[in-house]
Amino acid sequence: MAQASIPVDLFNPGQVFACMGILEGANILLGNAQGHVCGRFVWSHSGDRFCIKTDGNENPVEEVLKFVKAAEVKWLSPRRDLKERDDGDTEVLDGIAASENPKNADLPGVLRGVHNGNEYKITFGFWADGSSRFATTFKKSTNGASAYIRLKNALDAIRQWETKDVAADPLNKEARTGPLFRLDPRGSVDPIQGGFSPDSLRKGVGGGLDVRVATYPICELLAIIGLEHARPERLDSNRFAYCVWNCWLPPVLARAAIGGPLGFGRMRRFFVEHEEVKKGGDRKMNQVIEDEPSNRGADT
């Protein structure tokens, strides 16, 4: 049996969603051939962690990162006349769009690659599924960078790193990239609180100062994978809630646990406030608080 453990900030929704992405990726790459894949969160006075185990011998975190790093990216469209907006490699696949009116800036995608001699694919594009599920979409591609650009920014950074150098703490590996998916609040800047706007310095009159805040591309990329089949609980237009759990769960149950208590095991629930940066634009997360933190206890 192989087991891996990585640090996680339970008050960071992006990191929690990214842990779900690791679980989903490991289930695709290792679950069929090596049996069960399960994950859980552990919180203690010495720090919070996400743990994952499989029946095989390969480190599941490393295997997911290696696959993502080397995978080919395709953007999926239901029609030949609808292609990815910014030069992404588009593939027509009948019935791929649940939306009645999909837009080229928001097409879903797939990561395709080889693991242990077998071909696998990991799909992503929760923002484009057209369903009634809460999309938790913090990007508005019509007013900014498309999903292709955001994914490319993440992958360009990830491909520069050696997998073994980042696998022990992948969610905190920082870079200076262009826009990502705004699923990790650490990558957002409030000009009022920060005292300046990086975009204004780059684009304004007399600009040319390429000032970028730290971004976390591994966390953001894994988060969009983690949200593909799971959703937090929508409370209203500016709030959602997510949960973490401390018992070993397979992906099918973990998908449900993100959105609310399962009725067994110990769980913690967090509320997130988010708002548009400007009307019609990207959203940012402003505050994360825990529901009844005095009752959470701690693992020892």
- Strands 90-92 and 72-77, sheet pairing: parallel
pTM surpassing 0.75? yes
Would 271 be classed as within a structural domain? yes
Can you give the pLDDT at residue 199?
54
Handedness of CA 136, 244, 214, 161 (dihedral sign): negative
Can you give the pLDDT at residue 277?
77
Would 171 be classed as within a structural domain? yes
Would 54 be classed as within a structural domain? yes
Can you give the pLDDT at residue 281?
75
Give the domain extent around 88: 2-295
Can you give the pLDDT at residue 217?
97
Hey, what are 171's tokens? Answer: 């969610």
Would 100 be classed as within a structural domain? yes
The three-state (H, E, C) secondary structure of 161-210, written as one string: CCHHHHCCCHHHCCECCCCCCCCCHHHCCCHHHHCCCHHHHHHCCCCCCC
Would 300 be classed as within a structural domain? no
Would 18 be classed as within a structural domain? yes
Would 253 be classed as within a structural domain? yes
Can you give the pLDDT at residue 133?
79
Number of domains in the chain: 1
- pLDDT profile of the chain (300 residues), mean per 10: 95 98 96 80 95 92 97 94 91 80 85 95 88 76 83 97 97 95 81 49 52 86 96 94 96 96 92 85 90 59
Hey, what are 133's tokens? Answer: 């599920």
Query: Is there a contact between 84 and 148 (Cβ–Cβ < 8 Å)?
Result: yes
Can you give the pLDDT at residue 143?
67
Provide φ and ψ at 49, rounded to 5°. -145, 155
Can you give the pLDDT at residue 196?
46
Residue that the structure tokens 């007013």 belong to? 143
Would 196 be classed as within a structural domain? yes
